[in-house]
């Protein structure tokens, strides 16, 4: 059994006892495994893209401020104008929304396929599938993706207040 409580095809035997796996069981097992792998890869790439985008936006903003100071459109030490700041923030929100939407869709499909596997096991196939309490993992991924724009906004608010009070 793996950590999700789903056995490998070799561990699962048909109810006939002849050592073969029914076609439906095997297909469901493979689908559940592939969807779980897809969720992990999507989370890895989503977080990587969000971190890279956040870093790129930081350097673009810094360059814009330097150019505006050089062109005397901004005083040295001043913050980036809000209208230009919002563009980067919205880019972060859009990318976070895209990755969270994809993660939720894959998570729903995984839960659906896993429930079918559990139903097949309950029908007497002999598969022992661990049913764990529901953990809102998909919302954890949504929160992780939206942490990046939230951090961006909180830093802007913090810097704005710090500049006013210094």
Q: How would you write the pLDDT of the chain (166 residues) with one tens digit per residue? A: 455 455 555 554 444 444 455 677 788 888 888 888 998 899 999 999 999 999 999 999 999 999 999 998 989 888 888 899 999 999 999 999 999 999 888 888 888 888 888 787 777 656 666 666 566 666 777 888 999 999 999 988 888 776 665 5
Cβ-based burial of 165 (10 A; exposed 0-12, middle 13-18, buried ≥19): exposed
Write out pLDDT tens, residues 18-64: 445 567 778 888 888 888 899 889 999 999 999 999 999 999 999 99
Characterize 37-75 residue by residue with b for buried, 16 or more Cβ atoms within 10 angstroms of its Cβ, and e for exposed.
Answer: ebbeebbeebbebbeebbeebeeebeebbeebeeeeebe
Of 108, 95, 98, 166, residue with least CA distance to 137: 108
């Amino acid at each position: 059994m793996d950590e999700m409580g789903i056995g490998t095809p070799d561990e699962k035997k048909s109810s006939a006892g002849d050592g073969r796996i029914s076609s439906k069981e095997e297909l469901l097992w493979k689908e559940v495994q592939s969807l779980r792998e897809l969720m992990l890869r999507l989370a890895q790439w989503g977080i990587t893209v969000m971190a890279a985008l956040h870093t790129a936006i930081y350097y673009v903003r810094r360059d814009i401020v330097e150019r505006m100071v050089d062109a005397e459109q901004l005083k040295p030490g001043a913050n980036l104008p809000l209208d230009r700041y919002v563009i980067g923030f919205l880019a972060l929100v859009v990318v976070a929304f895209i990755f969270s939407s994809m993660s939720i869709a894959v998570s729903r499909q995984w839960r659906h396929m896993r429930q079918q596997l559990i139903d097949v096991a309950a029908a007497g196939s002999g598969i022992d599938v661990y049913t764990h309490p529901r953990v809102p993992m998909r919302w954890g991924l949504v929160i992780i993706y939206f942490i990046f724009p939230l951090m961006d906004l909180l830093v802007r608010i913090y810097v704005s207040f710090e500049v006013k009070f210094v």
